[in-house]
Amino acid sequence: MDNLHLLPTIRDSLSYLYVEHCRIEQDGKAIALFDQNGKTPVPCASLMVLLLGPGTSITHAAVRVLAESGCLVIWCGEEGIRFYAQGLGETRSARNLLWQIQQWANPEQRLRVVERLYRMRFTEELPAGLTLRQLRGREGMRVRWAYEKASRETGVPWHGRSYDRHDWRTVDPVNRALSTANACLYGICHAAIVAAGFSPAIGFIHTGKMLSFVYDVADLYKTEITIPIAFRTVAEGERDLEGRVRRACRDAFREGRPLARIIPDIGRALGMPSQPLERADFDDDPAAPGKLWDPTGEIEGGVNWSEREDAP
């Protein structure tokens, strides 16, 4: 990359860099990438997310600099098609996570989030006052139409979504392709969720699994991304099907940059009053303990309450 000012952004406040097939070392108070083209310095103090793709190696010193700079490190597959692990990010604020939990814990607020998640899947405005059952019915029709449309356009027969993870090779090609493409989409959604400080486990439509929220978010994009990719790839042949699907997803992620859309969509679905990733005051002091919970509201931490006049 010749000009790091051209880095894409997840939000205006969050720049991310994806790298692969290179060596990452400390370079003064920053890091540098070394590959066949030479050395590329990276000003990690202004970088908030570094995604490490295949073929990368990183030194202990470089990881320390990234941590000191508050740069979140994510180990992922090619172009984010798998999520493997994460390091420490910049924010010390749990604001986004707490908002997610509050919406989840209140049944009325959770219902509103579920309704927004369903409505966001439609390009057209849905009538007001639809029940959850009616929304699910319309969503089922929308997805069936997407499968049928992709089948007509590609000539690939479609007999419904069906697969057996324990007997993978007996599954028809298009269902194998769909499962492979969806797994790739889950990876990039997972990366976006943890980058923004949300929990992948606290789902609203899906529940009970450590990736429930990943499934909620990924469902926003399946008819746009994974269904067309799966059918097109099967139409081109069945040789190396899963590998070709993964590469097609990689190319689609590189060109479409869904990572730039996912975090704003999460904030919209959760009804956040301000944008995710807003910097907290105590981010400037990572050692600050933050505030204390009290039935009357939050109170300041780091105070000797036994010496306060208003102490019990």
Cα-based distances in Å from 207 to 13, 63, 202, 217, 222: 31, 34, 7, 13, 19
CA pair distance 34, 31, nearest whole angstrom? 10
Average pLDDT over residues 190-203: 89
CA pair distance 94, 107, nearest whole angstrom? 22
Is a pLDDT exceeding 90 seen at residue 157?
yes
> What is the structure's pLDDT at 219?
96
Domain boundaries, the chain: 4-86, 95-269
The hierarchical CATH code for the domain 4-86 is 3.100.10.20
Is a pLDDT exceeding 50 seen at residue 2?
no
- With tokens 């000009």, the residue in question is 3
Element (H, E) at 199: none
Q: Which residues contact 61 (CB under 8 A, 6 or more apart)?
A: 25, 26
> What is the structure's pLDDT at 306?
56
Average pLDDT over residues 145-151: 96
Query: pLDDT digit string (tens) for 210-251?
Result: 999 999 999 999 999 999 999 999 999 999 999 999 999 989
Q: How do strand 299-300 and strand 49-52 relate by DSSP bridges?
A: unpaired
Would you identify the CATH topology of the domain 95-269?
Answer: Four Helix Bundle (Hemerythrin (Met), subunit A) (1.20.120)
Angle at 112 between CA 111 and CA 115, to 5 degrees: 85
